[in-house]
Structure 1
Amino acid sequence: MPAPAPFVPKPAGRAALYILASTLIAMTQGLGLNLVTANLYQIQGPLGATLNETVWLSAAYLAPNVSMTLFLTKVRAQFGLRLFATYAIVAFVGVASLHLVVDDIQSAIVVRFFAGVAASPMSSLAFLYMLESFPPERKMTVGVSLAMTNLSIAAPLARLVSPRLLDLGGWNGLFLLETALALVSFGFIRLLPLNSPPKTPVIERMDVVNYVFIAVGLGSLAVVATVGPFYWWLEAPWIGALLALGIASLTVAVVVELNRANPLIDIRWITSREIVHFAGTLLLFRLLLSEQTSGANGFFQVLGLRNEQMATLYLVMIASGVAAGLLCTLIVRPGRAPYIHIVALCCLIAGSLMDSRATALTGPEGMYLSQGLISAAGVLFLPPALAVGFTSAMKRGMNYILSFLIVFLTTQSLGGAMGSALFRTFVTIREKFHSSQIAENVVLSDPVVAARVARTGAAYASVLPDAALRQAEGLAVLSAQATRQANILAYNDAFLAVAALASLGLAALLVHLAAIHLGRWRAARREAAAA
């Protein structure tokens, strides 16, 4: 590819506008991704759908989104960044506006599919606008840290603003803010052009053909990971068929890429020791971060709390993420990534251990510190990892950048869906275990249980004169309390499992660093002896 144009510093005011544009674009993309996920239970009524049907809204969004950025990177290189940005934001504004007129589940699923397509270039644009203001030596430190901070705080922000948006218009009201932000982003993109490299013909016919297999494969896996815990893995035969289709499509894509002179993805580089280690690290941490996205929110839903009752907790998450992002701008430098990851893992372990002691009396204020630590851990981990991987890919050329993108996006988008699926599955299994254990000890022959049932049923004496009905009502209330307690214990087990996995990751990282330093020490001794 031709060499990029030399960097020309921008005036401070104009550079600030680029940073503001990046923030708005990131918030626009983040809200589109998280508004539905954060309100699956609340939008059932407006759309007239069951919970399993509303889950398809998230699946339809992720199916094209997990792979679209890969192909759009080549489209951007061939047709120019300016044209790419304009058409991308126009498409996003159009699709966001469609959410304002949809009122049934079938139409909503179709719109969410196209929303996943339209949102794919938005995260890239958010990165590019953030990096535009910084000189080359600060793009992979300050620029990446700020860009990842914007993308990381979108999830708690969506939960923070969604109650007011639901009050404005239910399902349609959820997307009023997203549409408004998309229109403002459109204005910024038209007024603030990016420094576009020369156009380069990089798209080949086989790129399009093989991308179809990649899109089908990753999209199928994303759908399976999203809907699997709700339909249950072994209960719906089509889940297995869809999983087989995804694996078969990815296998065909790998075989084709291995036999191409100029592949879309360099499979040999992706399967190298360095990249497998990098991808495994990203995937593990993305799975662990499901403790916040699925764990804390699911725990408080079990306790009967709604998003508006956890507003302060979300503010703490946002503030902690922003603080960690600003800290990253100061400390992210070449060679420091492992040490920053040690701090991130320690924060994650501490937060998960605190959460594992939750009870039925635990409120959002009891998790301010723990969730703040976990939010900070997520922001601390990604910028140095992304900077290391992207710098390594840039030294090798365009195809390696595409290969790195597929690794990073797969571990983040698909890894996030897999993390939530595994967390929900683990909680479901442990809830059944604890329910059986509690049920064995809740028998009416136990005087304590009988007294509890009588006391609970007595509360209905004014409306239920029949003693048998009061006893039945007392048993129903006690059963609901037992189920809630089983769910609390299941979430505690999940939090503890996250802490254990993070501890294993930390131990592996420390051993890896010790091996590196030992090797350097031995090499230094050999050089000294030779001298």
Structure 2
Amino acid sequence: MSDDASALRATAQVGGPAPADIMPDGSAAAVAPRRRGQPMPAPAPFVPKPAWLAALYILASTLIAMTQGLGLNLVTANLYQIQGPLGASLNETVWLSAAYLAPNVSLTLLLTKMRAQFGLRIFATYAIVAFVAVASLHLVVDDIQSAIVVRFFAGVAASPMSSLAFLYMLESFPPERKMTIGVSLAMTNLSIAAPLARVVSPTLLDLGGWNGLFLLETALALVSFAFIRLLPLNSPPKTPVIEPMDVVNYLFIAVGLGSLAVVATVGPFYWWFEAPWIGGLLALGLASLTVAVVVELNRSNPLIDIRWITSKEILHFAGTLLLFRLLLSEQASGATGFFQVLGLKNEQMTVLYLVMIGAAIAAGLLCTVIVRPGRAPYIHIAALSCLIVGSYLDSRATVLTGPEQMYLSQGLISAAGVLFLPPALAVGFGSAMKRGMNYILSFLIVFLTTQSLGGAIGSALFRTFVTIREKFHSSQLAENIVLSDPIVAARITQTGAAYARVLPDAALRQAEGLATLGTQATRQANILAYNDAFLAVSILASVGLAVLLVHLAVIHLKRWRAGPADAQTA
């Protein structure tokens, strides 16, 4: 089984890196020769950098990744907290995430060609300037309508940032280490942004509410701007790669993926069958993607190669990435949502998020040592095993479970995400590179769809499953809350007794006791629903592990049978 991302900006969570610019030596590459089969241009020779300069490039990559990651996750991590400062309902604040994802899920596809045509140096400068400008706009927004507009442009401005973070990390390493150490460290930086956003959010909210959330992001963007200006990337010659039809068909792709991202983000909150416009938007997205596919199939030099994407190898790769991204929604939407049901806020879970960050960093450092060609399936076995154990431990939660009881399980899940991505990314990118640079954009669309859009879909499915199971458990519990039951009557009397000093009327105390018991039953139903979701993730991960083991067994069996045959032939 190959691999996965938020969610991308999972999702989630949600957005992943765009590795489309990486040559085998790690330099930024011209995106696509204009004729199929034309040989790739030779990459610029690698020139070793002094240790201090290499460290600066790594630091620049880390800062850029944190800048992009915070912009993606600060709003998602504080949907409930920013309702007051913006004067909005929960459903309205969800549109902030939807507006960000709508352009972000597809724009890297076009930006990759723009980098090749106009030059990486100019592109990087304009990209960071745009990001600084949009980040600064957050500091003056104080209403939901303006915030949604700003978040849309934030999604546009953030699209090239993950690519720049990736390229700056790879710039420091020799060719033989770019796809191992470089990729592992870059993926680690992008993975820790989500828990880091939750760690810093309480302080930023105290400083200035909605505007305060983006003080740190704006400062990091300014520092990143300085690094990008002072530390140039190894850029190939400019190559005319953009055709007019690329832009036209990209518009269909952007509308299609953007519509799906919006539907996945807001669907669980408006509920799928309650808002008719959700179905219309979904139909628009599917129709736009259908038009894009038809156009690409009939182009001699397509923007993305649909036939390659639908090949058996790439479908397997994309399915693996999507499955793992869906499973990782257990951490993006599961643990946090569970503790929100229990009434905890981000500041009360700081240590848990620090554990997630520590586990991700440890897994990333381990990947730098163990990621080598041919080892991907075995690393994926370890990642899936961590995910299975972590999700199963979470499925045994109770109303008394606190963040400290999930340190081990969430640490395992965080490590699983980082362990899974680098080897899978290296395998998928290597497959595209073997066929030539024409296929890099096709690989990019697979990766983006499974990461950014996959993260949004994963979170939507997780929330939907929890909602359905909560209604089921609520109905089951409500059937057993009858006043004729002596145990229920005693519980109502006990809970109502707490109001004896303020409510002398026995009937009012009984009503308050019944309301309190109903609240406790609802909370218990939510806990049971989350346990069901955690267990479902564990079961799906177990199925994925079983399929991977069978796949490896078949491969080894074929090799074993081929061995004696080769010996007899010799």
TM-score interval (norm. to shorter) = over 0.9
Deviation at 1:521, TM superposition (A): 1.0
Deviation at 1:502, TM superposition (A): 0.1
Whole-angstrom CA distance in 2 between matches of 1:162 and 1:153: 14
Q: Which amino acid aligns with 2:528?
A: L
SS of aligned partner of 1:525: helix
Whether the aligned pair in 2 keeps the contact of 1:457 and 1:473 (CA below 8 Å) is yes
- The corresponding residue for 1:348 is 387
Aligned counterpart for 2:194 among listed residues 142, 152, 155 = 155
Give 1:7-406 correspondences, 5 Å limit. Answer: 7-406=46-445
| Consecutive unaligned residues in structure 1, runs of 5 or more | none
Percent of matched pairs sharing the same residue: 88
More helix by share: 1
Whole-angstrom CA distance in 2 between matches of 1:180 and 1:163: 17
- The corresponding residue for 1:530 is 569
Q: Which amino acid aligns with 1:198?
A: P
Give 1:480-491 correspondences, 5 Å limit. Answer: 480-491=519-530
Deviation at 1:467, TM superposition (A): 1.2
Whether the aligned pair in 2 keeps the contact of 1:4 and 1:198 (CA below 8 Å) is no
Whole-angstrom CA distance in 1 between matches of 2:545 and 2:506: 58
Whole-angstrom CA distance in 2 between matches of 1:379 and 1:204: 37
Whole-angstrom CA distance in 2 between matches of 1:260 and 1:397: 18
Deviations 1:483-522 (A, max 9, x none): 0000000000000000000000000000110111111111
CA RMSD of aligned residues (A): 0.6
Whole-angstrom CA distance in 2 between matches of 1:263 and 1:524: 42
Whole-angstrom CA distance in 2 between matches of 1:193 and 1:422: 42
Q: Which amino acid aligns with 2:353?
A: Y
Deviation at 1:322, TM superposition (A): 0.1
Whole-angstrom CA distance in 2 between matches of 1:44 and 1:101: 16
Whether the aligned pair in 2 keeps the contact of 1:160 and 1:314 (CA below 8 Å) is yes
- The corresponding residue for 2:503 is 464
Deviation at 1:455, TM superposition (A): 1.1
Deviation at 1:324, TM superposition (A): 0.1
Whether the aligned pair in 2 keeps the contact of 1:66 and 1:413 (CA below 8 Å) is yes
Q: Which amino acid aligns with 1:251?
A: T
SS of aligned partner of 2:160: helix
Aligned counterpart for 2:466 among listed residues 410, 414, 427 = 427
- The corresponding residue for 1:407 is 446
Whole-angstrom CA distance in 1 between matches of 2:91 and 2:146: 16
SS of aligned partner of 1:78: helix
Deviation at 1:468, TM superposition (A): 1.1
Deviations 1:323-363 (A, max 9, x none): 00000000000000000000000000000000000000000
Are 1:506 and 2:545 matched, yes or no?
yes
Deviation at 1:462, TM superposition (A): 1.1
Q: Which amino acid aligns with 1:112?
A: R
Deviation at 1:397, TM superposition (A): 2.4
SS of aligned partner of 2:140: coil
Whole-angstrom CA distance in 1 between matches of 2:255 and 2:160: 19
Size of the aligned set, in residue pairs, is 531
Whether the aligned pair in 2 keeps the contact of 1:265 and 1:402 (CA below 8 Å) is yes
Whole-angstrom CA distance in 1 between matches of 2:434 and 2:179: 13
- TM (norm. structure 2) is 0.93
Deviation at 1:399, TM superposition (A): 2.3
Deviation at 1:524, TM superposition (A): 1.1
Deviation at 1:4, TM superposition (A): 1.8
If asked which structure has higher relative contact order (CA below 8 Å, sep 6+), I would say 2
- The corresponding residue for 2:490 is 451
Whether the aligned pair in 2 keeps the contact of 1:60 and 1:116 (CA below 8 Å) is yes
Q: Which amino acid aligns with 1:12?
A: A
Deviation at 1:398, TM superposition (A): 2.5
Q: Which runs of 4+ in 1 moved over 3 A?
A: none
| Consecutive unaligned residues in structure 2, runs of 5 or more | 1-32, 34-40
Deviation at 1:274, TM superposition (A): 0.5
Q: Which amino acid aligns with 2:226?
A: G
- TM (norm. structure 1) is 1.00
Whole-angstrom CA distance in 2 between matches of 1:392 and 1:21: 29
Whole-angstrom CA distance in 1 between matches of 2:394 and 2:136: 39
Deviation at 1:421, TM superposition (A): 0.2
SS of aligned partner of 2:435: coil
Whole-angstrom CA distance in 1 between matches of 2:344 and 2:468: 23
Aligned counterpart for 2:534 among listed residues 470, 495, 512 = 495
- The corresponding residue for 2:556 is 517
Are 1:438 and 2:481 matched, yes or no?
no
SS of aligned partner of 1:282: helix
Deviations 1:424-452 (A, max 9, x none): 00000000000000001111111111111
SS of aligned partner of 1:99: helix
Q: Which amino acid aligns with 1:47?
A: L
Whole-angstrom CA distance in 2 between matches of 1:201 and 1:515: 45
Are 1:476 and 2:515 matched, yes or no?
yes
Deviation at 1:259, TM superposition (A): 0.4
Q: Which amino acid aligns with 2:179?
A: M
Deviations 1:113-163 (A, max 9, x none): 000000000000000000001111111110000000000000000000000
SS of aligned partner of 2:484: coil
